[in-house]
Structure 1
Amino acid sequence: MRKLILIGGVLALAACAGEADTTEEAATVEEEVVEVVSVVGTYNGTGEDGTEWTATINEDGTSDVTVDGEVVDSATWRTNEEGMTCFTGVPGEGEEADEEECYMFGEVGEDGSVEVTGTDGESQTVIKVS
């Protein structure tokens, strides 16, 4: 009988030790979380040539740029692993697809201004209107 109690005690300790190791491992696992700024909305900006444009980024992964009420560019978009918003132009008939272009959107200021920085380091301030 003593042998059964002793073996039972050893097994119980072994089981507890296994749980402790698992708990310690779980506690040491760290998750890397990339905070993604919501880019969905409508933005106004001005091109290098002074042309005013409006860009609409939709929840469904599409976007359009309009100038003087006419759509001049359509694209799909996604958020990459680094938290950048990446756009790929939708090609017209007979055209090749554009290369993906990625941008980091900053926080929206009280006045609606947002700094948008491309992978080339160039930045532009746009206004988020909705």
Structure 2
Amino acid sequence: MTQDPVQAENPTVQADLLRANPHLSSENKQVEATQYQVWMENNGGFYDLRWSASITGSYDWVGLYPNDTVPDSSYVGGDNWQWATRGNSYKTSTPVTSAYQVRYLVWDGKAGQYVAVARGQIR
């Protein structure tokens, strides 16, 4: 019987948990061979984050970023992100304006941090 992964309340806490417990991130997932797409849509004046991945990892997540220049650790907090395993569409409460970016992130155990494998803008 496989135990469900431990998903923390947000990606920042999850990163700390994974760094402290490397055995949790021992998934056999080939990031290089996985195809990722991420984009945003206007859903009633708010961002709707959307994504697809040929393989979804237990700790993958999608988040909203204020622009394309901030580091992967600087996502917009609150309800502006979601674990990828919980579905492939998520409506935020952030009003649509220019400059925002959405990213699909995976855990890089060697680097000890989350890294964006796909980036997108509003469609």
Q: TM-score, normalised by structure 2?
A: 0.25
**With CA pairs under 8 Å and 6+ residues apart, which has the higher RCO, 1 or 2?**
2
Q: TM-score, normalised by structure 1?
A: 0.24
Bigger Cα Rg: 1
